[in-house]
Structure 1
């Protein structure tokens, strides 16, 4: 409650009405013989160029008496504002409250803001990323939190970055809780590493391990993806405790077996590389990621004890397709059939040559007989 205007003392609180706004001061009627004076420096805790930006004619103000000397009464508006502001700021600080403030000045090292007092946002606490030029921030409203408050030192440090990080953390928690293994989501490749790619899937990053990039072996992540690529990925697992998301890119791509029955049919001859030898046969890669089995009984047209007797890993072979099953991802191959077909062809060729030779001999004998008859 304001004290009586007739009991003016330094530090007293008075109320008055603005009667005149000059270039460097404001005159206020506080019910005394002379009007009170608010110097421009006592109008606000922030720098003031024009008093009209702070007060208007006829406006009623609550003020502090700063000095009483002869007929001159010096008043302060900023002292009243400061006391009120410190109380409000302390409450906001204690409650970890977020609020909006306006940037008044851009200074070396950060931003000066109006919080009823002169508040400061260091450059490192403005954004989550580096800002080279802060000139666009003047008169801009920012959502902030108080990170340091010290009335004795007249220090008010605020952070816009803390608000953003808190929002991102909250959003991340919501996304993590909503994700389930098997979900397919869209994302943007943020970072490439030797072991995989980090993909932003709406505010949180998940890892696509190099083994989950393609259905075939990948030597370098950059052979498949580039930073900035927009891709679809499948969620493999979500670790809420450690904020980790494992993703797969290859699971959203057509597999090497997709459409295999259109490309490879029963009876086709195919070339391939022997990848593995097992006691019951050999696995042969005939396309990237597609292996067929040559059963031991189909390796040679003679009895063999082990595949190693005929084949070795890395060897290129030609085989005949016996069957193709896309659903089961199985292809049966035969090397023996190729050999048998070759032998059959050689026999047929021999028979054709023999038949042709017999015809030629018959013609010669017939010609001689005709000559003899003559």
Structure 2
């Protein structure tokens, strides 16, 4: 018995001594109820524990899903639990060892100004936490070239960011995505302004929308389609007809390299409403339209999307009117007759009164005018004495 005890004591004495900060290898033996890993520290005969928070930089990582019994890990001893050698165990960390090695590599291989590709692992107040092997931080003001209200959209994304500050002693790594975007934007501006010209038709993606228009990404540079240039139909707001990410064709209306502005049109890449108007609204046809504008000289009536015709004040009513607003109002639906159509000049002449019956008084007036004209003719005709005709002769001819 004494011999066995002596052998056990000898084995314990021979076991490597473990100190805080030592790097050890641990074999996964089990997982406890707290989802911690129980590991056997190789060459020591004692066990250690890896808490969940000490497994990875990624707070969402689950070691019970990523590890299996028998896996061997490189770990660092962070604290001792218990005092006797036989029953003692240790808190171990995989994360801190990886961080230590990452800081060494980061400091050796990189400097401020270098670009890193890093996944966003956490959104916190004031910015984004990224995994560069060590925890890095991108302040909210350094994420975009514009204000961003919702930072959660970046979680899980891998972004390119420039090192602003690196300090292993304080575990401090500050990055800027805005700096990278600015450099990329400058390169994109040079490329886009060098490749496209006014009147070109190109493809782009809807990047974002406002009440006054839609911004189209042309390849790292945004151009603006004003709401009036989205469609020949009336558009109240861009989001009614467009969606973010949608691919659209646009025509380049204007470019200002100095101000980095590009004006675009979607509707001018589509068939214009005047192209079919001669077919859809030939002379003499009757249409229904909406009064869009009233002027002193007439009313403009929309008879198709993007097509307005003029009802001159003289064509509004058989009765005399002082102003179109006396009998019409904006938004009113009216029936009109097409008097003439000129697609090339985009002119459409319309009439409302042509579809209304002439008042009886005006009919009588017209009849009287005709009668007056006949009497005048007779008077003029009988004024020629040389022919020797009598009034009776002329009246007889008229009766015939």
TM-score by length of 2: 0.48
Count of residue pairs brought into register by the alignment: 251
Q: What is residue 198 of structure 1 aligned with on the other side? A: 215
1:211 aligns with 2:228: yes
Structure 1: 5+ residue runs without aligned partners?
A: 1-22, 25-48, 51-81, 104-108, 114-118, 347-374
Using the alignment, how far apart are the partners of 1:174 and 1:283 within structure 2? 45
1:177 aligns with 2:164: no
How far apart are residue 218 of structure 1 and its match? Answer: 1.9
Using the alignment, how far apart are the partners of 1:87 and 1:332 within structure 2? 79
More displaced 10-residue stretch of structure 1: 319-328 or 185-194 = 185-194
Q: What is residue 280 of structure 2 aligned with on the other side? A: 263
Please tell me whether the aligned partners of residues 160 and 177 of structure 2 are also in contact (alpha carbons under 8 angstroms).
Answer: no
User: 1:249 is matched with which residue: 263, 266, 269?
Assistant: 266
Structure 2: 5+ residue runs without aligned partners?
A: 1-22, 25-72, 75-103, 120-128, 145-150, 364-400
Please tell me whether the aligned partners of residues 292 and 330 of structure 1 are also in contact (alpha carbons under 8 angstroms).
Answer: yes
Q: What is residue 307 of structure 2 aligned with on the other side? A: 290
CA displacement, residues 270-328 of structure 1 (integer Å, 9 cap, x when unaligned): 222333333333322222322212223333446x3534387312443322212111111
SS in 1 for 2:273: coil
SS in 1 for 2:264: strand
How far apart are residue 146 of structure 1 and its match? Answer: 4.4
Pair 212,101 (structure 1): closer, same or farther in 2 beyond 3 Å: closer
Q: How does 1:1-374 map to 2 (within 5 A)?
A: 96=113, 110-112=130-132, 121-122=136-137, 132=155, 146-148=163-165, 153=169, 157=173, 159=175, 161=177, 164-165=180-181, 167-178=183-194, 179-301=196-318, 304=320, 306-308=322-324, 311-314=327-330, 315-339=332-356
How far apart are residue 111 of structure 1 and its match? Answer: 3.8
How far apart are residue 154 of structure 1 and its match? Answer: 8.3
SS in 1 for 2:271: coil
Using the alignment, how far apart are the partners of 1:252 and 1:214 within structure 2? 10
SS in 2 for 1:214: coil
Please tell me whether the aligned partners of residues 216 and 223 of structure 2 are also in contact (alpha carbons under 8 angstroms).
Answer: yes
Using the alignment, how far apart are the partners of 2:209 and 2:180 within structure 1? 25
How far apart are residue 219 of structure 1 and its match? Answer: 1.8
Using the alignment, how far apart are the partners of 2:322 and 2:246 within structure 1? 49
Q: What is residue 17 of structure 2 aligned with on the other side? A: none
Please tell me whether the aligned partners of residues 272 and 316 of structure 1 are also in contact (alpha carbons under 8 angstroms).
Answer: yes
How far apart are residue 329 of structure 1 and its match? Answer: 0.9
CA displacement, residues 74-95 of structure 1 (integer Å, 9 cap, x when unaligned): xxxxxxxx9xx98986xx65xx
CA displacement, residues 130-164 of structure 1 (integer Å, 9 cap, x when unaligned): 76459xx9xxxx9875433569x587847584774
How far apart are residue 122 of structure 1 and its match? Answer: 4.1
How far apart are residue 228 of structure 1 and its match? Answer: 2.2
Q: What is residue 89 of structure 2 aligned with on the other side? A: none
Using the alignment, how far apart are the partners of 1:110 and 1:317 within structure 2? 64
Please tell me whether the aligned partners of residues 310 and 348 of structure 2 are also in contact (alpha carbons under 8 angstroms).
Answer: yes
TM-score by length of 1: 0.51
SS in 2 for 1:165: helix
